[in-house]
Amino acid sequence: MENEKITMKDGFVKIACVSPELRVADCDHNSGVIIKAIESAYKRGVKIVCFPELSITGYTCGDLFMQDSLVRSACESLIRIAEETADMDIVSIVGLPFCFMNKLYNCGAVVCHGEVLGIVPKRHIPSYGEFYETRHFAEGIYDVSDIILLNGNVCTFGMNQLFSCIGYDMLTFGIEICEDLWVGDTPSVKLAQRGANIIFNLSASDEVIGKAEYRRTIVNAKSGSLCCAYAYCSAGIGESTQDMVFSGHNIISEDGSIMAQSELFTNSMTVADIDVGKICSERRKRNTFRCDDSDCAVSNFELCISYTRLDRKFPQTPFVPSDSGDLKNRCGEILKMQSVGLMTRLRHINCTNAVIGLSGGLDSTLALIVTVHAFDMLGLDRNGIHAVTMPCFGTTDRTYKNACRLAEVYGATLEEVNIRESVNIHFRDIGQNPDVHDVTYENSQARERTQVLMDTANKLGGIVIGTGDLSELALGWATYNGDHMSMYAVNASVPKTLVKWLVSHEAENSGGELETVLQSVLETPVSPELLPPDENGLISQKTEDIVGPYELHDFFLYYMVRFGFSPSKIFRMACLSFDGKYTAETVMKWLKNFYRRFFTQQFKRSCLPDCPKVGSVTLSPRGDWRMPSDACYGVWLKELEQAEKYLVGNF
């Protein structure tokens, strides 16, 4: 089905952790509660649901675990859960005591379509503090799995097993139980190395002061170090409070980011949309993520992989932290990195003069800010910063005045070189009609400006500071050997959506006249100003009207380069993120334009000047992005056209 193909490419799976209110040692009641919870999860579109440790019996049964009646009832309840959920397209993971080879084990059992696929014993059995599990349970053994017969069906018993979806092996998971997470040698390491993208932990972690925060930290860290999703499901209200209190703290984390968690002391269902495609992409990129191809039992299950109804939110500006405190810290850190990069270059070449083409726009303003900070770090006089304004056919009064005021307030040396005459002479030399406002008309100005800057730098014994940003490089929105070229490009790994926040950060920390002029820059439309102003003297050439909104392009860029997502997946995510702001048709239009420009403009990125990397996405040919300049984009365009037929009508 077309529906299934699209979902397979997207890589999303909805999972859940449920902490039901149980009765201690009442398997009939507990299995009934679990069945209702599975049905509820199924109706929400969940594909895998996990329950706490020993959830069929309750964790706090104590010496009752030594009673045959309880162990037998737990096994019968497991079979009941399998049979009564057989018609539901969902995988369920429940906890129970299970007897194997005359030993009792604390286990997690995996159920799907009426069958128990496998039973996984707990490895690390605690007997310290309030825990005394070794009194009742044997420990599981690494790298051992056995075939057993349960209710007439074959299933696997042992720690050394994975569970994988037929036809969709990205959806492969493993199981560990409570204490297994809290030790150094966690079973999840081997499970992840053998292919598990999701780890489910059935837990009964009692609550004490400070433990919840530590629990969050360890779950999140484990998902990050193993590059996996980690679903931690803990026992809650209903367990005996004779000596302990259980909070039902459920946590779902994906590659170092908490996606969902429950409130403490609640019996609830915690649901998250996990992107197993993203996890696979990250593992491919990390050559230090080691795979283990040693023998491992794999139990297969089959699910109808439907078009996942996503509850997950994707930030419109993935380069920009949503939290104001995080954003402030991030801006300060990035400015420091840019400034240190430039400072190091200036010191290395013993240079005391920097030349910047200051237009009064965002990018050149940020470059000036960085240069000022670098000069201050070196203790250099700011008059060694030569801010060159080069008015021409498209320069407006607003940007010109902003450029002059910026240079003055910062204490830089302002130099003005009007390039109208030299550009007109060049037009005559090459036979260009100045009334024809084509690409030659525009690029001649950009290249003339670069020549002025380069020659000025030579005269001063200085270097030209590049102003172009990451978003412009991705789109090729730069004149080759014009503004595309410099001697050190301080903004080359800063996306446009982040540039304004960096300038805003500087404004907030400055105050006075500097804050006023920086705010004026922030309110100015983005434009190369290569075409004459309108009849009111205002900017007539607005970049985003030509190439598309930068917030969309930065969204596309982030998920394409950072994770290698397919065009159809990026399109779907963008439609969800920008719902109500851009129509699906508008998103598709600019996404096609993004891929076209990204592929055809690689030659400009192949010869970039040196530039400091400040984030996880950069297009430097010496750093993170190596791409042939003559690569074809037909594969990406074809997928977009196929997605357009199906997806556009669904948003």
Options 178, 227, 228, 296, the catalytic residue: 178
Contact 240, 24 (CB under 8 A): yes
Q: What is the DSSP string of 414-469?
A: EEE---HHHHHHHHHHHT--TT--SHHHHHHHHHHHHHHHHHHHHHHT-EEEE---
Contact 470, 433 (CB under 8 A): no
* Element at 612 (helix H, strand E): none
Contact 18, 49 (CB under 8 A): yes
Cβ-Cβ contacts under 8 Å for 280 (sequence gap 6 or more): 11, 170, 197
Structure tokens at 157: 């018993």
Angle between helices 496-510 and 512-522 (to 10 degrees): 160
Tell me the one-letter amino acid at 301. Answer: F
Using DSSP, state whether 354 is helix, strand or coil: strand
The radius of gyration of the chain's CA atoms, rounded to the nearest angstrom, is: 30
Tell me the one-letter amino acid at 64. Answer: L
Options 17, 47, 53, 448, the catalytic residue: 53
DSSP letter at 263 equals P
Is residue 122 among the annotated active site residues?
yes
* Element at 203 (helix H, strand E): strand 198-203
Is residue 115 among the annotated active site residues?
no
Options 14, 61, 75, 122, the catalytic residue: 122
Contact 177, 110 (CB under 8 A): no
Cβ-Cβ contacts under 8 Å for 182 (sequence gap 6 or more): 124, 218
Looking at the chain, the number of H-run helices and the number of E-run strands are 21, 20
Using DSSP, state whether 37 is helix, strand or coil: helix
Is residue 112 among the annotated active site residues?
no
Tell me the one-letter amino acid at 132. Answer: Y
Tell me the one-letter amino acid at 116. Answer: V
Alpha helix (H) residue ranges in 11-153: 27-43, 68-84
Q: How many residues does the chain have?
A: 651
Q: Which residues are catalytic?
A: 53, 122, 178
